[in-house]
Structure 1
Amino acid sequence: MGEQRQPLFDDFGRTDATPSTHQESTFEFLNRIAGAYWEHPRALMQKWLDRIPSEPEHNDLRQRFRSRDDEQFRSAFLELYLHESLVRAGYTVTIHPEVHGTRRRPDFLAERDDLGFFVEAIAPGSTPAEKAAAQRRAALFDTVNRLGDPNFMLWLDELEEGASPPASARLRKDLRRWLAELNPDVPWDADAAPMRRWEHDGWAVTFRAVPKKPEARGTTRNDRAIGIYGHTGVDFIDGAPAIKKALATKHHEYGNLGAPFIIAVGTYIHDRDRWHSGNAMYGHVAVQIGEAPDGSMVTREIRQPDGYFGTPPEWTNRNVSGVLLVNQLMPYHVQRAETILWRHPNPVHQLPEAVGLPGDTLSLAGSTLVEISAPTRADQFFGLPDPWPPGEAWPDDE
């Protein structure tokens, strides 16, 4: 097997049990967080990584996990999750198989009995400019969260971002001086709360002071000054465009593979009612208004022709047999990831009736969505105890 593999996580005595900061990457957090609870996701990742037979593939995943880039981490964990799922479903898995007629290689070829299909994984990412802006915001959030004021927490009300990192020392000093002048026992009202607007070098941030309850005053190890992140406002969220954009980067890479083809997309959409996914796959739902023979107005629900799979009879992307959406996948609650296989209504190559992956299956019969629930709960599929991880993530210090 060659030289001994390096472990995924470092081997040292962990003592830091504080929550993650905004600037801390997922790997950095998991690598240093102390507590029995956190040993379980670390052990799970190591166990799954050990199942990767190829040294180059193992080393590639390990390097991506250990990067400070959360998008690399999520992409690597999606691939590891898919590999583990296919192995547990009884498939023989080939990583990056050769495909006739192209130099490109899908992530996996899964074979079981006389059936086989290809899988390609993608975790949509951010542009470099978006990443840089997120890092600047993270620096500001962490700066404020380290205030350690015994009497107040803060409501972040408005935020205009600067083009360079915020002046951390100046910001903390200004906020501490302001909070020291306030009386936490004065009756508090959200509309009349004490406010502070801080402006410097392109940044403009407005805070409201929220007094802590008398019994909660003082400072503790895990105190964070920002109690409410209210700067983003209220907006209508539609995840369908992001899903379709991610799919568009993959479906033309391989053409007809001569076998069923699944594209797996890792998403982090907070809405779990499947509205986004249904719109992305089969088109946004609309209401059509018409006139009945008796002159009355009638309405019916239709889907617009903007779905990834198209609409009958003009189905599109027929080389993609199905799309596996894996939403909110993280190592410390892997069993809670929402996994759905969306079948193409008329693919070139039909997937087997029972693919065997964790999660539900949805297909379109006429204009009706047909759902087949997962035969096994995800924790049982992966052999995890219930609850998992066992124990408490943040046990009381007392």
Structure 2
Amino acid sequence: MTEPLRIFDDVERTDSAPAYDTEDSFTFLNRVARPSWARVRELTERWFADYPASDQSDLRSRFWKPDAAQHYGAGWELYVYTLYRSLGYEVTVHPTLPDTKRKPDFLVTRDGISSYVECVVFLAAGGSGSGQRSWIFECTNKARDPNFVVNIEVRRDGSERPKAAEIIRPLEKWLSSLDPDELQRRIDTGQAPPYLKLDVRGWSIEYDAWPVRPECRGAGGRLIGAYPMVLGVGDDEVRLREIVKYKGARYGSPDKPLVIAVLNTSGFTDERDMTEALFGTEAVEYIPGQRDSIRTVRQRDGYWRQGPNNRGTRVAAVLLGQNISPWHITHALPELWLNPWADRPLIDTPPFATRTAHDTGQVYLLREATAPPSAVFGLDPEWPHFDR
């Protein structure tokens, strides 16, 4: 008898260290030994066991790919599949469409009403998870001191990767020379924390030392308390619009409403970005010399646009998941954004918070969420009960 496929390795785990900076989220989840993470793996395996056997191999292979778009995408597809089934839908994987050989991810049907769902991941631009800086961060986190955490700023990127010892040794030596109680008194009186400037192999790195609370000293864990802030260039709404536009054009004119399910992994993308991506950016309109004529209008540069030349009408809705991961599924459900000018409007709408727009382009909340995610998935609201 063939053993059923599993996503994760079936081994005894002993490594409970936090995620390394060069470690992708799937590798971490497959490696970490803590009970809360074991609960995440167990639930993911249960969901995977309910996924159609004919499609399990492909989905599993994408979980294991180091490319973030692949393993995030696999997790998002499994989540969306399970979400719709938990809401009472019959879900068909990779259904056949009448006029194209391309197949969307899902056909979802409830009470005789069907729609197609296509999943996509919106990856955060930049961040600390790639390139040579990840090595700098990982080496820093390998340094140990029971009394301090550090904030890190990379003032200059070098062209050569330092050896781990070239970062760990001077950092540990510096921290061991500091008195955490004395430092806390200095900070309490408004003085700046001490810092170390480390120049190594072309890199210029600065560390601030911050004392750990007395009751938490000696616990170990990551040394970095705060990573460098990475800001985007303000084009998230453009990237979002292009992703939805690309996915919306793949299936011609589908015979049923098409929903694009977007997993947003960017902490800088918010409701305004989605509003402007779908319905257009805001602008101020006025008649020169007439003070009372000033008003805010929505420009016609969104993906969805009302006639005379309607645009984006093949996509009935966008289902937006904000940083939903296998360990955050009880935090919030996705939000549904409805296209009021769709060729095939979405009639059967799940119990998500739902937004749409008037013909003027004014976006409004049509409905609050009618069920918490814990009730939808049958989980405790505090699941997976992370160690405190």
Using structure 1 for the length normalisation, give the TM-score.
0.85
Q: Distance in 2 between matches of 1:93 and 1:270?
A: 30
Shift of the 193–85 alpha-carbon distance from structure 1 to 2, 3 Å rule, reads: closer
Alignment partner, residue 9 of structure 1: 8
Task: Give the corresponding residue for 1:210.
Answer: 210
1:37 positional shift: 2.4
Deviation at 1:214, TM superposition (A): 5.5
| Match status 1:320 vs 2:315 | yes
Deviations 1:201-238 (A, max 9, x none): 34222222334455655x3332x222222x32677756
Please give the residue correspondences for 1:68-87 in structure 2 after superposition, counting only pairs within 5 Å: 68-87=66-85
- For residues 35 and 132 of structure 1, the distance between their equivalents in structure 2, rounded to whole angstroms, comes to 24
Matched-pair contact (CA < 8 Å) for 2:333–2:372: no
Identity of aligned residues (%): 30
Distance in 2, matches of 1:359 and 1:78, equals 17
The residue aligned with 1:239 is: 236
Task: Report the 3-state secondary structure (helix = DSSP H, G, I; strand = E; otherwise coil) of the residue aligned with 1:249.
Answer: helix
Are positions 1:96 and 2:94 aligned together? yes
Aligned partner letter, 1:254: Y
* Superposed CA offset, 1:353-388 (max 9, x none): x322x5211111233324212222221111112322
Q: Of residues 319, 323, 326 in structure 2, which corresponds to 1:331?
A: 326
Cα deviation code 1:323-376 (max 9, x no counterpart): 111111111111224511111121111111x322x5211111233324212222
Compute the displacement of 1:99 (Å): 2.0
Cα distance in 1 for residues equivalent to 2:234 and 2:216: 35
3-state SS of 1:315 partner:
coil
Among candidates 64, 86, 108, match of residue 62 of structure 2: 64
> In 2, are the aligned partners of 1:121 and 1:264 still within 8 Å (CA)?
yes
Distance 1:52 1:138, change over 3 A: same
Identify the residue that residue 339 of structure 2 maps to in structure 1.
344
* CA 197–114 in structure 1, closer or farther in 2 if over 3 Å, else same: same
Deviations along 1:78-116, one digit per CA (max 9) or x if unpaired, are 111111122223332221122233221111122334322
Report the alpha carbon displacement of residue 7 of structure 1 after superposing the two structures with TM.
1.8
Corresponding residue for 1:263?
260
Structure 1 residues 94 and 372, CA, compared in 2 at 3 Å: closer, same or farther?
same
Decide which of 350, 364, 380 is 2:357's aligned counterpart: 364
Contact 1:18 1:221 in 2 (8 A): no
Amino acid at match of 1:198: L
Aligned partner of 2:140 in structure 1 is: 144
Q: Which 5+ residue runs of structure 2 have no aligned equivalent?
A: none
* Alpha-carbon RMSD: 2.9
Query: What residue number does 2:172 align with?
Result: 176
Hey, what's the Cα distance between the residues in 2 that align with 1:88 and 1:192?
A: 52
Contact 1:188–1:211 (8 Å) recurs in 2: no
- Structure 1 residues 202, 76: closer, same or farther in 2, change over 3 A? same
Which shows bigger deviation, 261-270 or 148-157? 148-157
Counterpart amino acid of residue 153 in structure 2: D
Cα distance 1:331–1:234, how it changes in 2: closer, same or farther (>3 A)?
closer
Determine the C-alpha separation between the residues in 2 that align with 1:25 and 1:374.
32
**Which consecutive unaligned segments of at least 5 residues does structure 1 have?**
none
Once the two structures are superposed, the pairs formed by residues 106-145 of structure 1 within 5 Å of their partners are: 106-125=104-123, 134-145=130-141
Cα distance in 1 for residues equivalent to 2:149 and 2:79: 39
Equivalent pair of 1:342/1:361 in contact (CA under 8 Å): yes
**Could you tell me which amino acid in structure 1 is paired with residue 271 of structure 2?**
R
Over 3 Å counting, the alpha-carbon distance change for 1:179 and 1:325 in structure 2 is: same
Q: Which amino acid aligns with 1:162?
A: G
The 1:120–1:175 alpha-carbon spacing in structure 2 relative to 1, beyond 3 Å, is same
Farther-moved stretch of structure 1 (191-200 vs 46-55): 191-200
1:35-72 CA-to-partner distances (Å, cap 9, x unmatched) read: 432232212211111111232x1111112223333332
Letter in 2 for 1:48: W
| CA shift in 2, pair 1:183/1:241, >3 Å | same
TM-score, structure 2 normalization:
0.87
Distance in 1 (CA, whole Å) between partners of 2:369 and 2:124 is 32
Q: Do residues 381 (structure 1) and 381 (structure 2) align?
A: no
Corresponding letter in the other structure for 2:243: A
